[in-house]
Structure 1
Amino acid sequence: MLAEADGQDKTTLSISTVQAEAGNLILAGLATTATTLTYLIWAILKQPQLQADLERKTSELGHELTLEKLKNAPLLNSIIEETLRLYGAAPFSLPRGILENKQLICGTEDLIKMCQVALWSHLMAVARYQTFFAA
């Protein structure tokens, strides 16, 4: 895409390039979304009481779901967040922006506001660290 735009006006791309890039974005999201949803359903189904509670709570939301109703569904949101924490499809975390000056726990480096850091620990290990998350 950049090579195509290199010799041209920087604001135009061909229709075929835009279509190809859109296809890449859609396909990139399919595998990660499918994997995450598979784990979410599996995690619910292996706990019958959780499944019953979720069915009851979601039925109370009514047939017409709105963003506001979904925001106010704590059990559903907790299940989604835990699924992403425990079974996230991306094996490594994405870079994070620093919002204020900080010093690392070991005290050897300063993190400057607005810089980016990347955590290279595998998320499967980090998300299950018992110091931060109950087993």
Structure 2
Amino acid sequence: MKKAADALKLLFPNMLHLTCLVHGLHRIAEHIRCLFPDVDRLIFNVKKVFLKAPSRVQLFKEMATEIPLTPQPVLTRWGTWLSAVFYYAVNFTKIQEIISCFEEEEESAAVKIVHEIMQKESLRCDLSFLVPKNPGSTYNKKHFK
């Protein structure tokens, strides 16, 4: 990109390069994800628990009719990981209850990992730290329907 800008500078001497603000915000969100590995592992493994598992999705819908399915964030989409963090912070106890039902029935490695992560007290602290304290900042519900 730098080479292209240098070449264009010859044609447009008054050209000024501005870095995209949204790219900068996305980089900050990536850095936040790296600072909270337990939250990242929780989101990644819960995604694996429900991926290609219609029986688990059905049980989730039966047990938690009032909340949407767990989000499946894509790291290259801006803000989806942080939206997932808000979702898990708001619905943590219900998801923990559902995961404990899965562990009783199945031998899935992903279910065991999620159950192990959810037992950590530091996970609850991390989630509460990441979620802003103002009432207007919640996960985007339409994003997960």
Whether TM exceeds 0.5 here: the answer is no
Scaled by the length of structure 1, the TM-score of the pair is 0.28
Q: Return the structure number with greater relative CO, CA threshold 8 A, min gap 6.
A: 2
**Which one has the bigger strand percentage?**
1
**Bigger-Rg structure (1/2):** 1
* TM-score (structure 2 length as normaliser): 0.27
Higher helix proportion (structure 1 or 2): 2
